[in-house]
Structure 1
Amino acid sequence: MTSPVNIETLAGILADAADTEIMPRFRNLGDRDVRQKTSAVDLVTEADEAAERLIKARCAEAFPDALFIGEESVAADPALLPRLAEAELAIVVDPIDGTANFAAGLPAFGVMASVVAKGETVGGLLYDPFCKDFLLAEKGAGAFLDRRGQRSRIAVANPVPLDEMVGSGGASYFEKDLQGTIFANLHKLRIVGNYRCAQLEYWAMATGAVHFLFFGKLMPWDHLAGALIVEEAGGMFRRLDGSAYRPRHVGGGLLVATDEASWEVLSREIFGG
């Protein structure tokens, strides 16, 4: 399925925003350039807001029929988010995924965008502003690494037994009882890390560096692009109850695995499903 939004044009918009609004501010933020939103670990910076303004304006010019859903736009107007479920066409953007890392001067953040048509994710982009590389996918067309115009197909890792699995996840957004179950079972895995940046975690998954991911909070700008790219790279994802993950979902947890058998093992052995 070809995305109704030209994916190369959208990629160029993300790259321009990173070059002009994000990277010049990296490790160059003043005290007033960083603010808390809901907590000390939920931050917004002047770079997030400036980058989203640029991306939104450029998308309005290039794709005038698309609803724009940005993380900072929704923070300013929460009524915007429910419109995604009914939109004929929408562009969903996270101007800086990993804002806490960015604000701390850690080089572990990226830019993400997805294209949603009639409730289905049909295009996804992950942008690395350091190497200026993209991961990208369109529904049904495979997933690719674009390294300055040179594209190569990517694929998830081969399945391995549970005790050899390396992956990433965080339990903080799950209910307390489930957190206890997760922590009690993590010893069954080889390595579990957390980048505090979904963009990097999906990048690692889609390129075969890890075997699983799990998330408790499902805001669309954090997951739609990466989940599509992982799926097109041969992996799979479902909410914790086994149901399909859709752009309208903001809860229910998400488990991403290399294949269905691995998903079932992780669901049973880590989450008690």
Structure 2
Amino acid sequence: MTDQLPLPVTAPFTKAQRATVLNLVRRAARTEIMPRFRALDAGQISQKSSVTDLVTEADTSAEALIARGLQIAFPSAVIVGEEMSETHTDYREKLEQAELGFLIDPIDGTWNFAHGLPLFGTMIAVCRFGRPVFGLIFDPIGNDAIWADIDTPSTWTGVSGRSRRVTTRARANLAQMTGIIEPNFMPLPHRRAAMEACFDLAHAWTLRCSAHHYRLLAEGAVDFVMASKLAPWDHAAGVMLCQQAGGYSAMLDGTAYTTSITSGYLLSAADEATWKRLAAHFSALLEPAE
């Protein structure tokens, strides 16, 4: 049995405030991100935890711009950015206690960005007491966004203001399903089990970019996203978009996702029936990794 928490009754903020958030993200892309794309030198790229975990000058500059703007627009909000979390390690506790909290991932897919691949995005989530209630995923290359809140279905918005609803698309059997999975973040026994389970699917891969993973799911291009590295800025917005596009998100053991969860596997799927099929198919990942 899955255990998604019921959503709050009202959206986190007004239409005008949502526009403020999107305008901030567009400004950061225009002034801090895109001018540095394919223009970084070695001194503007740093390694964090590993050779594949990078941060660039564009990440830190864009995050600072967005955080400043959000703090002005929402002075009582708790604001957490991926880069600032390196020095503010109590951010999960603060988000769990905050009536209004923002999560900023200034450049999701930094490895791609740093190597000149046009597969990256900016992710903003609003949480109430650790639960996502608004999500925005912006593509600086296309200058467009997909966003949703608890009152609004997932919606694509282009630069001209045009918009359309986006929805997930479910397939009936496993052999036709495609999805996103990142076994390299799993312990070795789970990695092997996950790869074996993928042999029964049509295709499974990773783009090294949660922003595009969740956009593909919300727009019906893939059937699922399985996440094994649970940094909240990578998933809170995506969970909101998935649910409001007709999909279903929960931890693989059925627990409702919140930003306080640090381990396990987050499964987002095209609908609840698909989620249940995939959860059963990947159930070996619930065994201890010994």
| Structure 1 residue corresponding to 2:111, chosen from 97, 100, 114 | 100
Q: Which letter does structure 2 place at the counterpart of 1:210?
A: V
- Listed as ranges, the gaps of 5+ residues in structure 2 are 1-9
Q: Please identify, of 51-60 and 112-121, the stretch whose mean Cα deviation from structure 2 is larger.
A: 112-121
So what's the TM-score if we normalise by structure 2? 0.91
Q: 2:26·2:140 contact (CA, 8 Å) conserved in 1?
A: yes
1:22-37 map, 5 Å? 22-37=33-48
Report how far residue 174 of structure 1 moved. 2.0
RMSD: 1.3
Q: Conserved in 2, the CA contact under 8 Å of 1:121 and 1:139? A: no
Amino acid of the structure 2 residue aligned with 1:13: L
d(CA) in 2 for partners of 1:84, 1:107: 31
Instruction: Give, in whole Å, the separation in 1 of the partners of 2:114 and 2:12.
Output: 33
2:204 equivalent to 1:195: no
The percentage of counterpart residues that share the same residue type is: 37
Name whichever of 80-89 and 47-56 sits farther off: 80-89
In the other structure, the counterpart of 1:254 is 266
Aligned to 1:179: 191
8 A contact 1:143–1:232 mirrored in 2: yes
Distance in structure 1 (CA, Å) of the matches to 2:19 and 2:164:
15
Q: Deviations over 1:106-165 (max 9, x none)?
A: 000000001112332111100011111110101132110011211211100133310000
How big is each residue's C-alpha offset from its partner over 1:59-109, in whole Å with a ceiling of 9 and x where there is no partner? Answer: 111111111100001013223332111112111100000000000010000
Amino acid at match of 2:59: D
Structure 1, unpaired ranges of 5+: none
Aligned pair partner of 2:70 in 32, 39, 59: 59
Alignment: residue pair count: 273
8 Å CA contact retained: 1:142, 1:233: yes
Structure 1 partner of 2:128 = 117
User: TM-score, normalization: structure 1?
Assistant: 0.96
The aligned residue for residue 146 of structure 2 is 135
Structure 1 residue 268: deviation in Å?
1.8
Would the aligned equivalents of 2:12 and 2:134 in 1 still touch at CA under 8 Å?
Answer: yes
Residue from 157, 162, 171 that aligns with 2:174: 162
Q: 2:13 aligns with which of 4, 24, 39?
A: 4
Write the distance in 2 (CA, Å) between the matches of 1:76 and 1:30: 25
Q: Is residue 223 of structure 2 the alignment partner of residue 211 of structure 1?
A: yes
Choose from 24, 28, 44 the match for 2:55: 44
